[in-house]
Structure formats: structure tokens, C-alpha cells
Structure 1
Amino acid sequence: METHSRRLGLDSLTRRDANDSESSQPEFTFAAVSIGLLIGCLLCFTNLYFGLQTGWISMMSLQSALIGFLLSKMLPKPLSPQEIIVVQTTAVATGTMPLAAGFVGILPALGLLSEEKDGTPPIHLSWIAAIGWSCSIAFFGVFLSPPIRKQVIIEEQLAFPSGTATAQLISVLHRLPPPDTSLRRRNGYTEVDTEDISEGTLLNDSLNPEESIDRVEDEREVVTQEGWSDLVYSFLASGAMTLAAYFFPIVFSIPLFGKYLAREWLWSFTPSLSYVGQGIIMGFPTTLSMNLGMLVGWGILSPISKYSGWAPGPVGDMSTGARGWILWVSLAIMCSDSVVSLLPVVYESGMKLLRSSSIQLEDDQNKDHEVETEDRLVPIRWVVNGLLGSVIIGTLLVWMVFGNEGIKPWATLIGFVMGGLLSILGVRALGETDLNPVSGLGKISQLLFAWIQPGNVVANIIAGGVAEAGAQQAGDLMQDLKTGHLIHASPRAQFFGQLIGSLLSIVVSATAYTLYNRAYEIPGPSFPAPTAYVWLSLARLLRDGQLPDYSQVYMVVFAAVFSIIAGVKIFAVRRRASYAKWIPSGVAFAIGFLNTPSFSLARLIGGIVEYLYHTRVAKSGGADIRLIVIASGFVLGEGVISIVSLVLRTFGVGVASCWGCSGGICAGCPA
């Protein structure tokens, strides 16, 4: 019988030999980049589709690695673990551009401008203008990544739970020794070794070593033998339901609580498999927070604002209705949660800066802990030239697209500087908590620009978008660099993948957004783009200071409550308390306000499935990875088939029947 150490290969010599053997193989290959771009384009359409619907997009890093592994099994020579890292990095860079370039928030917000309220008419970018805008902010975060990587991954060794979980998945799929996820915590002159335990951990810590080994082998065999068929069947099931909902809109607008509540109060149910899949990926605690927010926002505050006369318009109206009224409470929750979450990061960064300037650190701390050779790292001259080039070219492109009346070039430069500073905070928050507070960081930039260019709503929105883009890209790419570090992949190969993915996604995102904008009203019934109202509402508030009746009272109360909750959550997370994940997330709670109940209910089903699966099926020896495969198929199925719906809509093919949609129940039906 094999010994435990032999089967796991945990001794340092075995690990080093395995890494050296793998690193001698080509990593930045045509096959890896091609598969990454293919997956990334699918994610790009999917994220744009769901982002315009709900304001929520998924990074899908772990899912990209898993799908890349399955696709590579069809090649004559399957991809190596390091090539899978390139696949994942390229896919994420391609797939997250709809958020980075503001296609789900910034651009729809500019289209909502009013000459009367904002002093400027709506701004609708042409395809070439959208390309120019995307180019202006697409590469800044990519060039920020290498220098930040050295500090947060190599020196501080932050956890980056999702990136670590992806590395664990890849090690399982390729029968590699488990990655070393121990953290070296520095505090003055001391070092403490702590084990990284994240929600994304693939192995069940309650199992003994032999059971863990068997579980790893079981999971790998399941994914190798059944993963492809699980992905295809779940994809087809979700796609078929999406097409059915296009021709029969009632399929996605079931008046579960009666037609009156569906018509007047927007309480309907969307049995979308992709929503269920997203709930599985989010996890039960997040979906629970989202539904608590939905109950408070739509079940309590919405009726209060309506019957008190504070929101006299139709419930779904974002200007005079209850949905627009509770939007302000949602904004207060998001801002307070983000600010409080950033305070420890700001404090620790400041203390670290003071210590480094006033204390001579020990020799061990002054050593370069970099494990990669120079030929595998991104040269510093590339970083410097890239940052300067992206800022200069980006400033010129923003000026060409929006002109002096939109935002002054010097103000755009300040936006890039703010983006760089806020990116550091966002990356550190992501590394420690697995949450990148980009929404809060964008709001901080908006607050600054209310002082720099007062009264200019366009400049306020654009500057916030520039800052958010840098923070979002740098954070998402840092998760991938963490995965690459644990699997010993080349940072330079990942950097190339990021550049190529971002470049292609500029064209894909701009084209897809232009097509959606021609076929649908954005924001509109089918694609309400809720985050666009968040951006515009804050910009208008900073311009004229007007709030809906009595909303400020509830904003202060909820902001105070969630400041306390965020503080308790930070304390629990840092103490690695088991109850930390059950403390409500302020951002997820606020998302429950932003979207109609149908968004949250279906995701709660997915969260419940995830919880039951991991407490009953996986705990008794089932395969965790199989659930990830099925959830990925659900999400991609609707996102990809939505392209078919877009083509049908463009060519004038309408619904087959509006049966059951009487009274305006269905958003996608003209009846």
C-alpha cells in the first residue's frame, strides 16, 4: 500500500522537481490562447447579457479553468497545467470587459442623461466611439498588475481565496501535489504561519488523509469521464429554456404570487436555469443576503414609500416610483459597506508604509522572495512604458470621444491616478476578503470629481468609470496571477494572455453592446441596466443635492446599520470565525434592492442546491467539481443562446404567443 507522503508528493523535493519539469514546457501556446479566447468570448456575451439585466457579472475564473481542461481533452495532446493557467487568464481578461469598460453601467447611464436635469443631452456612443472608449481604459489595469503582484502575492502572500481555489482545482485535475497555501504573516519582526482556509477550498477538511486522497481521485475521475456530458446537457437544457422564453415570454415571468402582485408590485418568478447556476456559483450565504435585501426592499420599503406618497409613480419607475426610491437606500448600503471594508486595508497599508520608512526591517524581510527567473517575469520597462502609454493614449481617446464639454484632459489624467491608487486598495481587499469593492471605489472617485469639476455630470460618471475599470481589472487579474503563482506558471505568459484577451474583448464587447442597443431599449423592460441608475443618481445628487422625500432618513439608518454589520464581518473574517460567512454581505443585500424579486428568488434556489449538495452529497463522498460543471453549463447556456435571441429580434422575429402575459406581466412581450 502506498504511503501518504508518496501518494500526495508533499515533500519539497518532489514539488520542486514537478514544478521544474512543468515550467520547462511551453506555456504561452496557440492552443491555450485560442481556447482561452473562445471561452472568454462566450463569457463576454454572457456577462454583457446578465450585466444589462441585473448589474451582476461573474469573473468565472475557476469555471474557465475547468471548461478549458474539458476542451483540451479533445486535443491530440491535452494542455499542461501551466497552459490551463493561460487559458483561464485569457478567458477572464476577455470575459470581464463588459464591466471594465462600463457597458453594463457607464454607457447606459450616459444614455439616460437629460438636458433639463443634467444640462446635457443623452450620449449614445457609436460603434467606433465605443471602441475608442474601451481602448482608453482596457489596458491600464493590465499594466498595473505586475508591480502589484510582487507586493501582495510574493511579499505579503495574501490569500486570494478564489485564485487559491482555482489552483487547487487544477492540481486535482492534473494530479499535481496540492499547492502550498500557507500564509506567511509579517507583523513587525515576527512571522506567523497560518493555514489558508477559504470557502472555495475543494477538499473537505473534516476528512482524514486517506479519505482526502480518495476524494481527490474520485473528483478527477468524475470530471474526466462525465464532466463533458454534464456540461453539454446542462448547456442545452438552459439554452432550450431560454429559446422557449423568447417565443413564450410567460416562461420567464411566472406570476407565482398572483397576477396583481406581478403586475403592480413586480413580484414574479423567473425559473431561469442560468440564474440557478449563478446562485450555485455565488453560494448559499451570498444568495441568502441577496434575498434578505429583496424582502426588505421590495416587501417592506417599497410599499411604505408607495402608500406614504413618497414615490407616487408606478412601482417600477426609476424616477418617481418605489423602485427609484429604494435605489437610494441601496446606494447608501453599498457605500457604507465598501468604505468600512476598506478602512482596515487603508490602515494596514499606512502602517506598513510608516514602518518601512522608520524601521530597519530584518534581513529576511529585505530579501527578494521572488521565485521566478527574470525571463519569466514582466520587465519593469514594459510596465513603465505600458502605464505611460495607456494613460496618455487613454486621455487622448477620452477627449476625442467626449470632447472638452464632457471631461477635461487634465481631469481624465487625475481619474487615471485615482484609478491606480484605488486599485491598490481594491486588490488588497480582494486578497484578504475575496471581495473587490469596485462599486464603492467608483463612488469614491465620483465624490472627488464632484469637487474637481463641480456640476459636470458627464465628467463625474466618466471619471468614476476610469477609476472602477483600473480597480476591477487589476483585482480580477490578480486572482489569476495568484493561481499562476501556486501552480508555478509564467507571469509573463499570463501577461500576454491578459493583453490579447483585453484587445479582442474590446471589439466583441462594443459589437455586442451596439447590437443589443439596436434591438432593445437600454435601459428598458428586457434590459433595465440597474447599475446605470446608481451611477447617474449619485452624479445628480452631487450636482444638485436633491433626494426623494424622506429617503435621506432611511439612507442614514441603513448606512449606520450596515456599517456596524460590515465591521462585525471584518472582525469575524480576520479571526477566521466559522460564522463569518453567515453575516450578511452589504453589497449582496443592496443588490437585492436594485433588482426585481425574480432576480433573487431563482438564485436562492441555486444557493440552496449548493448548500444541500455540499452538506449532504459532497460530504458523503460526492464530487464537488461536478456541481461546478453543471452550474457553468447553466450560466453559459442562456448567455450564449441569448445571441440567437438577439439575431431573431434584429431580423424582426417576434414572440410566438403572449398567452398569460395580460396586464403587462411579461417584460419581453408587447402585449
Structure 2
Amino acid sequence: MVRKQVGEEILRKEEDASEKGWQVQTMENGNELTEEQIFASKENVLPWKKQITLRSLVVSVILGTLFSFIVMKLNVSTGIIPSLNVAAGLLGFFFVKAWTKVLGFVGIKSQPFTRQENTVIQTCVVAAYGIAFSGGFASYILGMSPAIAAQAETENTPINSKTLSLKWMILFTFVVSFVGLFSIVFLRKTMIIDYKLTYPSGTATASLINSFHIPREGAKQAEKQVKKLFTWFGASFAWAGFQWFYTAGDGCGFASFPTFGLQALKQKFFFDFSTTYVGVGMLCPHSINLSMLFGSVISWGVMWPLIAEKKGQWYSAELPPSNLRSLQGYKVFIAIATILGDGLFHFVLLLCKTMYSISKRRNMEKNSNKDNAVVCTSDLDEMSYDDARRKEYFSKDEISWIFAGLGYVLFAAGSVIVVPLIFHQIKWYHVLVIYLIAPIMAFCNSYGCGLTDWSLASNYGKIAILVFGAMIGSNGGVIAGLAACGVMMSIVSTASDLMQDFKTGYLTLASPRSMFASQVFGTAIGCLVSPTVFWFLFYKAYPDLGQPTSKYPAPYGLLYRSISFIGIEGTKALPKNCVNLSLGFFLGAMLVNGIIELLKHYECKVHKYIPKPMAMAIPFYLGGYFTIDMCVGSLILFIWEKMNKEKAQKFSPAVASGLICGESLWGVPASILSMANIQPPICMKFLSSGVNTKIDAFLASS
């Protein structure tokens, strides 16, 4: 009833807008037209099936294949993958525009290219190249191979290695990659409308797509926003290109600029001049940015230095810092424990609120229609036109929880049967356990991604390696742990990607059904293309793939296999007190969230100043450099709001999106240059005065 009346009110306003033509620049109250009011006067939002066109699918296949190759190339070289969401939306726009122009030259008229169709293309492409990452071809799958097993110190037995084959890789990818799409799809309205999670990359992509398609007539404010977006887009792209010239080696360039000194640089406290995270900081709430900065200080500024002093007592002094048996173990597991504590709290809280909402709705149904109408009007009045229109279209095409539940059960059942047939080391009940706990993990990862734009899918995969490796032991535990990693990582990664794309669809009025269908289609493309690209263009073309001296060393292959060694030994392989500290932070995260919710309930404003555990935990593992970038973005927005709050509210999303889009798009030419073996000409490094004196003396004597 509520949704129906809100929808009728919105449609009535759209009809009025169409009749008036919005020829004036201001409404009766003197305010300029909003983005959705401008779209409402010109745009005809098609049903969800018509948002998916033949040309959109063809373009998606082309771009999905191209991006899968780029991501796979980066996977087997450095393992570092930039966000290409913006590039997918941008190239999708230009491909279809080129398509329609070519057909126009030969006299064939094409249907209008809408922002919803543009969003469908972007979603397909992201889903396709996402499999190149979550499929683990250069990490956990490569770690199973005999070639990587030969590099390891122990557990090189035949039962702990598996010969790679294109057939089983495609089959495995198909059976595990679709489950995550059904895991939390029924929570889409909760995450995006109720929780109002930002999903900065999804928001930036939507802003770009909207700027391409917004009607130019009678849209002065929109034109100003587009101008701002492209101005900062160009500046960000140019700055990223300028930085590239100084990165000819590890630790080179502005990304390693010792802003606060060389000692702070070692503890990952520096400003790395990333316009992407300055933009993300402008989109994220101040509380999230400050929570992450607080987490950086207490971890990298206090905890890790204190634990490092226990070297030789709590863990072996001979181990490298990156080994999970040393300091790295504390970083990874304390971060994961905090994230799980926060995520589990919100999952239980959401469940309780849902049950309460169902009970309340049943009571409301007993009331008169008049009472319902009053509620609807009140809700509509409190909501802006843009939000009301977006909410209506986002809620219009339901994806029922029954459909999601059946899909999850069916695909999970297929995986429970097939995965043990591919990897006999893991049993069906192990896979079943993964699918029973996976929705909670998927919720945690999607929630964290919505707050900070970071997906920690690989960390959840590492947890699966350790848990299931320990359950099975040395008799096949390495392969079983890596297979469990693949199942878990595929679920949490595709779930967060889907929710990120739902945010884009929410802001562009793309139907959730068309978004979900395009995600399924893109995933199918990725399941075929990614294994094929890996097999023919890298694994077969480079017999030394994964070797340290290879052109493509694929460093994560050996890393994941090394983690599996720890897994078969269980928690006893972790450094001293790691489990106790992790448990403490897990319980602490739940306690802090409980306090925050209690203060909210009693309308005590103090809750705004309590750091959020989920946001605090992200830099525990990654470091504080990106949190400084985000706080710079937050500071810029804060000063802007103090100077002119109205302009800041109108134009800050466009500026932030431009900053994110420009640097993200530079990832495409940078990847092409890398594939062409074109290296930057300069390495800019920073040395202490003592080291510099020694180098000068050495050069003078040589």
C-alpha cells in the first residue's frame, strides 16, 4: 500500500513534468530542478526486459573479454588489480554510441541509448572480469599446480598437488561463481535504502553514466555538475599519467612520498597522492574516515610496533614480516576478527529488525486504509523527489526472497556434488559447511565494501584455507584448503560486486531485475573467458609461469600455498597470543556496536563520535596511507561546507566522482603500456641523509 501510493505520487509528478516540459529553470519555490526532475521530463524508463538489448550483450562480451585479459595480465605479474568499474561504464557508452553512428551512416535507425542500458553493460563487464580475480587462476588454483608445489618447502606429496586442466577449471568456476549472486540479493533494499551505504565506486560510476545521458536543455545546474565532473576527471587522469613517469621500480614515485618522514613511511603513514581515495573520502561520511584514521593510529602506530618488539618471544625472529607465523598473522587475523564481530552484530540486528518489521506490518494491515494513506503522505513529504523516484523504481521489480533462496540452494547443491568430484581431498560436508556460513561472510564483506570501497574477499578466502586445511590435515589438506578458499572467495566477492552494481542501478533507475540478469550473463561470460585466457595466453604460453625469475612470476600462487601449509597445522601455527587478541577484538567489536545502538535508541548524540569497528579494522591489515587520503577528501569537503554549504552539497558528488573516475581510467592505458613492456623512464625514491651520503661517496670512488 505504501509503495503503491508513493509510486502513484511520483508518476503524477512525472506526468506534470512532461506536460510542462520544464521550460523554466526554477520551480515555484525558486529552487533549480534536480537531476531526476530533469530526467523525468525527457526520459522514458523502459521495462526491465527492454533495458537488456542485443547490442548491450554484444558490447558486454567484447569489453568483458578485453577486461578479463587485462585483469589476468595484472594477476600473473603483480597481483594488484585497480578498480575498472568506471572504465567499463565509459567504454560501454562510447562503444554503443559508435555502434549507433555507424548504423546511422547506412540508414539504419537505432533505438535510443538510455542510461539504464549503459548500466547493464557496465554490470556485465564488471561481472565478467570479476571472475578473473575471484576465480583465483593466478592465486589458489595456480598454487595447486606441481610447478608451484616444487617451490614449496614441505607437503610436496602427490595428494597435495593437482595438475591443472582447462576442463576442470571451467567446471569449477561455473559451479561456484553463481552462488554468491543469490546469497544476499534479498538484502539489496536494506543495504542501499535503509543503511544508505555509499559504495563509492558504484556511486562514481552512476554519476558518470548520468552525466553522459542527462538532457542538456533546461538543465543549468546539471550542466554545471557535468562541467565540474569532467574538469576534475581530466585533472585526475592527467595527474595519474604524470605520476606514472616516476614509477620505474619498486617503491618509486609519488605513491611512496614520505609526507611525515621516513620512519612514518615504514609504518605506512604517508599521503600517496591518490585522487581516487581523496574522492572516496569526499563521498564517505566524516565518521567513517575518522574511524579508519583512528584504526590506523592504534594499529600501525601502537599495536604493531609493540608486537614487533616481542620478536623472538611471541614469534620467530628468523621469519620474514610477510609470513603469517610472524607479525603478518596478527595483522590479518585481528582485522578479520574485528570485521566478523561487526558484521555478525549487524547481521543479528538486521534479523531482529526484520522480524519486528514483519510483526509491525501485520498489525498495520489491521488498521484502516485511511491510516495507511496518512503514513504514505508523511513518508513522501520527508523524502526528496530524487530519492522518492529512485526508491520507487528500485522497489518496483521485486526479486523475491523465495527466488533468491531457491537459487542459492540449487546452485549450492550442485557445488556440493561437483566440487568433491574435482577435488577428492575435500568432502561434500565440508562444502556444505561453507555454504551454511557463507551468507554471513558475504554480508560482512558487502557491508564493509559499502562503507569503505574495500572488498576483503581474499582475506575471507584465507580464513577458509586455514579452517578447512586444519580440519583435513596433511592428508590432502593443502588442496582441500585451496579449494575451500575458491568456494568462499567466489561467494563473498560476487556478492559485494553485485551490491556495488545495485548501487549504480539505484542511482540510474536501472531495474534490479535487469541488473541481476546482466550480472548472471556477465558471470557466465567470465566463467568461459577467464579460464580460457589463463590457459592459452599464460599457462601454456609461459612454461615458467609462477617462477620467481619468470616474466610472469604470479607471486600469489606460492603465497596461497604457503598459507595452506599453516592451515594443516591449525591455530597452533599462528604466533603466540594471536588467537587471544583476535577473540578480544571480535568481542570488542560487538560490544562497541551494542553501545552505539543503545545510544541511538536513547537519542544520545555521543554515538556520532564513537569509531565504527568495521571501518577501524580495514587499515589494520592494509595500512594507514589510504585513510590519510580519505581524510584529506573529508577535510576538503568540511572546509567547502563551511565556506558555502549549498554549493558543497550540489557539486561535491560531481567533483568526487571526477577524481575517482580519472585515476581509475588511467588503469587502462597503464595496463596496455605494461603489456607492451613499456616501462616508466624515471624512478623517484627518497633516502635518508645518511644513506644519501654513503651513495655519493660510493659513486665518487667508483
**Which TM bucket (shorter chain)?**
0.5 to 0.7
**Structure 1 238/361 Cα, relative in aligned 2: closer, same or farther at 3 Å?**
same
- Alignment root-mean-square deviation, CA: 6.0
Match of 2:246, SS?
Answer: helix
* 8 Å Cα contact 2:469-2:570 kept in structure 1: yes
Picking from 243, 268, 275, the partner of 1:241 is 243
Residue 83 (structure 1) shift? 1.6
2:8: which partner in 1? none
What's the offset of the Cα at 1:475?
4.9
Shifted more, 288-297 versus 455-464: the winner is: 455-464
Question: Any idea what SS the aligned residue of 1:317 has?
Answer: coil
Aligned match of 1:644: 673
Q: How does 1:40-55 map to 2 (within 5 A)?
A: 45=70
* 1:480–1:440 Cα change, 3 Å: same
For 1:334, the aligned partner's letter is: I
Deviations 1:278-313 (A, max 9, x none): 555656544443343333323322322232333424
What CA deviation, in whole Å up to 9, does each residue of 1:372-419 have, x standing for no partner?
9xx988899997996677446545653455x212x1245334534544
SS of residue paired to 1:245? coil
What is aligned with 1:415? Answer: 434
Name the CA distance, whole Å, in 2 between partners of 1:379 and 1:127.
36
Gapped regions of structure 2 (runs ≥ 5) = 1-23, 102-110, 377-390, 692-702
Q: Which position in structure 2 is the counterpart of 1:329? A: 334
Change (3 A) 1:490 1:304: closer
Structure 1 equivalent of residue 424 of structure 2: 404
1:342 counterpart residue number: 347
1:134 aligns with 2:136: no
Amino acid at match of 1:561: G
- Return the alpha-carbon distance in structure 1 between the equivalents of residues 230 and 198 of structure 2: 23
Distance 1:595 1:289 in 2: 15
Instruction: Provide the rounded CA distance (Å) in 1 between the counterparts of 2:138 and 2:643.
Output: 37
The question of whether the paired residues in 1 share the 8 Å contact of 2:448 and 2:615 is answered with no
**Deviation, structure 1 residue 86:** 1.6
Distance 1:523 1:246 in 2: 19
The residue that corresponds to 2:104 in the other structure is none
With normalisation by structure 2, the TM-score equals 0.65
Following the alignment from structure 1 to structure 2, what is the Cα–Cα distance between the partners of residues 365 and 95? Answer: 51
Maintained 8 Å contact 1:70/1:224: no
**Greater shift after overlay, 582-591 or 102-111?**
102-111
Q: Distance in 2 between matches of 1:110 and 1:175?
A: 50
Cα offset for 1:89?
2.7
User: Which of 16, 22, 27 does residue 3 from structure 1 map onto?
Assistant: 27
- Taking the aligned partners of 2:550 and 2:463, their CA distance within structure 1 comes to 25
Retained in 1: the 8 A contact 2:76–2:138?
A: yes
Looking at structure 2, the residues matched to 579 and 42 of structure 1 have their Cα atoms a distance apart, in angstroms, of 50
CA separation of 1:490 and 1:260: change in aligned 2, threshold 3 A? closer
Give the structure 2 partner of residue 307 of structure 1. Answer: 309
Q: Name the counterpart of 2:117.
A: 83
In structure 1, C-alpha distance between the alignment counterparts of 2:250 and 2:446, rounded to whole Å: 44
- Following superposition, the deviation at residue 29 of structure 1 comes to 2.2
Aligned to 1:28: 52
Q: Offset at 1:137?
A: 1.8
Alpha carbons of structure 1 residues 608 and 625: separation in structure 2 relative to 1, 3 Å: same
Question: CA 1:441–1:348 in structure 2 vs 1: closer, same or farther (change >3 Å)?
Answer: farther
Larger radius of gyration: 2
What is the match of residue 135 of structure 2? 101
User: How far, CA to CA, are the matches of 2:300 and 2:528 in structure 1?
Assistant: 38
Correspondence for 1:192: none
Of 482, 487, 498 in structure 1, the residue corresponding to residue 519 of structure 2 is 498
Shift, 1:242, TM fit: 2.8
Local SS of the residue matching 2:322: coil
Which residue does 1:551 correspond to in 2?
Answer: 578
Contact 1:238 1:637 in 2 (8 A): yes
Quick one: structure 1 residues 109 and 523, their matched pair in 2 at CA, closer, same or farther if it must change by over 3 Å?
Answer: farther
Percent of aligned pairs sharing the same letter? 19
1:635–1:429 distance in 2 versus 1, CA, 3 Å: closer
The correspondence of residues 229-308 of structure 1 with structure 2, limited to 5 A, is: 230-232=232-234, 234-246=236-248, 250-251=252-253, 252-255=255-258, 270-274=272-276, 276=278, 285-308=287-310
Do the aligned partners of 2:478 and 2:564 also contact (CA within 8 Å) in 1?
Answer: no
Q: Distance in 2 between matches of 1:99 and 1:416?
A: 20
Map Cα deviations across residues 337-388 of structure 1 (whole Å, 9 max, x no partner).
22223221243456678x59x9798379999x9999xx98889999799667
Residues 175 and 662 of structure 1: CA distance in aligned 2, closer, same or farther (over 3 Å): closer
CA distance in 1, matches of 2:293, 2:599: 22
TM-score, normalised by the number of residues in structure 1 = 0.67
Matches within 5 A, 1:442-461: 456=477, 458-460=479-481
Q: Distance in 2 between matches of 1:258 and 1:426?
A: 34
Corresponding residue for residue 386 of structure 2: none
Shift of residue 27, structure 1, vs aligned partner: 1.7
User: Which one of 317, 320, 323 corresponds to residue 318 of structure 1?
Assistant: 323
Q: How far did residue 217 of structure 1 move?
A: 4.1
* 1:470 and 2:491 aligned: yes
Contact 2:84-2:665 within 8 A present in 1 as well = no
- Counterparts of 1:447 and 1:350 in 2: how far apart (Å)? 35
Q: Is the 8 A contact 2:51 2:514 kept in 1?
A: yes
1:205 — aligned with what? Answer: none
C-alpha deviation, 1:459, in angstroms: 3.3
Matching residue within 629, 649, 652 for 2:658: 629
AA partner of residue 321 (structure 2):
G
Change (3 A) 1:475 1:548: closer
Q: Please state whether the residue corresponding to 1:404 is helix, strand or coil.
A: coil
Alpha-carbon separation, structure 2, partners of 1:327 and 1:319: 8
Please state whether the residue corresponding to 1:86 is helix, strand or coil. helix
Report the CA distance between 1:632 and its aligned residue: 1.3
Q: Distance in 1 between matches of 2:412 and 2:556?
A: 28
Give per-residue Cα distances to partners, 1:253-291, cap 9 Å, x unaligned. 34556667767x677764455555555565654444334
Q: 1:237 to 1:166 in 2, by over 3 A?
A: closer
Contact in 1 for aligned 2:233/2:659 (Cα 8 Å): yes
Tell me the equivalent position of 1:561: 588
- Distance in 1 (CA, whole Å) between partners of 2:661 and 2:156 is 41
